[in-house]
């Protein structure tokens, strides 16, 4: 049996791309034949093929894995293939969060929400979190959905053992992920300003691609207006070594995002014993649970900053949170094992999914 993995885009360094490639590698390590297909991909990645070839190559003996997070124009064709079909649903970003700076992507997300009823046509659905699974409640039995985090322990940020690390000399807050509107990086910058006002000599490292010129310009202006531009390092995309160095320098991870299907940076930070501060209202809060700070959706940047300062000044609570973070990360990573994926594949083949 072959595992055929399909996504609109597969690129190393992108969360969806990393997950597709990681699953393919895990399957091959277990002796399976795997192939990956995408419309857009890096030609240097030999295992990824043009998506059109999938429709000619898939057979009834294959297992098809479709990664879904945005409108898929070929969804009907995928559902018509004769093989067993699994959908990994990452969640869809609220179009309202994208409309101002990314109107084209907002339109695609709107169309994706209209496609959700069709996901019931898959033999099994997997989601990255229980929160995201709720999107599908009107169309499938939620109890039938498998939940597996969208990572693998082979990722460079997760492959090393979670050994104790020395505390950073400076109080540095790490913001990690694509610098796009729904991540609300401007809110993180405002939190930094209030932390500094509270007497903490803090800095911020913002790691991630900056694909939207207008939004990036807006952030620079906002940081300058708040008087903290010189305290912020916008690194852009970095390689694995620099990413690990960013974690080593971080005192905590700060995510003010309004939408996360999972929040991989929070898991990576917790694995390394770095407390994570996230917003409630989406899956990041589920990931962090009681192993970090979860701010209410109505909390202001000033209130969040006050909680961060209080945590920083409470050594016993900080140490307890660090230990809780490592334990929480370990439990989540256990769910990503090949054994869990084999159970998913078996359920799909037996027709005991959605």
- Is the same domain home to 148 and 165? no
Residue bearing tokens 């014993």? 273
Look at phi and psi of residue 177 and say left if phi exceeds 0, alpha if psi is from -120 to 50, else beta. Answer: left
- Is the same domain home to 195 and 182? yes
Q: Rounded CA gap, 342 and 338, in Å? A: 6
- Is the same domain home to 288 and 234? yes
Dihedrals phi, psi of 184, to nearest 5 degrees = 50, 50
β-strand partners of 48: 36
Quick one: pLDDT at residue 183? 95
pTM of the model: 0.91
56 lies in which domain range? 2-152+336-350
Q: How confident is the model over 193-245, as pLDDT tens digits?
A: 999 999 999 999 999 999 999 999 999 999 999 999 999 999 999 999 999 99
Q: How confident is the model over 83-137, as pLDDT tens digits?
A: 999 999 999 999 999 999 999 999 999 999 999 999 999 999 999 999 999 999 9
**Are 287 and 298 a contacting pair, CB within 8 Å?**
no
Dihedrals phi, psi of 239, to nearest 5 degrees = -85, 180
- Is the same domain home to 319 and 171? yes
Rounded mean pLDDT, 261-283: 95
Residue bearing tokens 């030999």? 46
Q: What is the CATH number of the domain that holds 259?
A: 3.40.50.2000
Lowest mean pLDDT among 153-157, 185-189, 245-249, 281-285: 153-157
- Is the same domain home to 288 and 345? no
Q: How many folded domains does the chain comprise?
A: 2
Query: What's the pLDDT band for 54 if we cut at 50, 70, 90?
Result: very high
- Is the same domain home to 88 and 171? no
- Is the same domain home to 178 and 207? yes
Q: Rounded CA gap, 46 and 206, in Å? A: 32
**Are 16 and 36 a contacting pair, CB within 8 Å?**
no
- Is the same domain home to 324 and 340? no
- Is the same domain home to 119 and 173? no
- Is the same domain home to 130 and 228? no
Quick one: pLDDT at residue 248? 93
- Is the same domain home to 20 and 137? yes
Q: Tell me the two tokens of residue 9.
A: 């885009």
């Amino acid at each position: 049996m072959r595992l055929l993995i399909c996504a609109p885009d597969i690129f190393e360094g992108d969360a969806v791309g990393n997950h597709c490639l990681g699953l393919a590698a895990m399957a091959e390590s277990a002796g399976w034949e795997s192939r990956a297909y995408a419309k857009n991909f890096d030609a240097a990645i030999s295992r990824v093929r043009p998506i059109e070839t999938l429709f000619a190559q898939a057979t009834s003996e294959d297992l098809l894995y479709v990664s879904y997070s945005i409108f898929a124009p070929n969804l009907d064709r995928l559902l018509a293939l004769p093989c067993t079909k699994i959908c990994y649903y990452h969640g869809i970003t609220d179009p309202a969060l994208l409309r101002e700076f990314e109107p084209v992507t907002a339109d695609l997300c709107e169309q994706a929400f209209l496609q959700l009823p069709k996901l019931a046509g898959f033999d099994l659905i997997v989601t990255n979190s229980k929160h995201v699974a709720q999107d599908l409640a009107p169309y499938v039995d939620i109890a039938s959905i498998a939940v597996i985090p969208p990572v693998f322990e082979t990722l460079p940020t997760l492959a090393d053992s979670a050994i104790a690390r020395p505390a950073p000399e400076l109080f540095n807050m790490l913001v990690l992920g694509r610098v796009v509107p729904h991540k609300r990086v401007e809110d993180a910058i405002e939190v930094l300003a209030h932390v500094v006002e509270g007497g903490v000599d803090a800095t911020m490292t913002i790691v991630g691609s900056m694909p939207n010129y207008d939004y990036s310009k807006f952030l620079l202006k906002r940081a300058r207006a708040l008087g903290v531009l010189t305290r912020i390092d916008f690194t852009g995309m970095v390689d694995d070594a620099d990413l690990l160095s960013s974690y080593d320098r971080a005192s905590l991870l700060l995510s003010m995002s309004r939408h996360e299907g999972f929040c991989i940076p929070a898991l990576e930070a917790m694995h390394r014993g770095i407390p994570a501060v996230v917003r409630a209202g989406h899956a990041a809060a589920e990931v962090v649970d009681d192993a970090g700070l979860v701010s209410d959706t109505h909390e202001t940047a000033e209130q969040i900053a006050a909680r961060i300062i209080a945590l920083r000044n409470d050594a016993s609570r900080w140490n307890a949170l660090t230990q809780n973070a490592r334990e929480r990360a370990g439990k989540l990573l256990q769910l990503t094992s090949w054994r869990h994926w084999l159970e998913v594949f078996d359920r799909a083949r037996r027709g005991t999914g959605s």
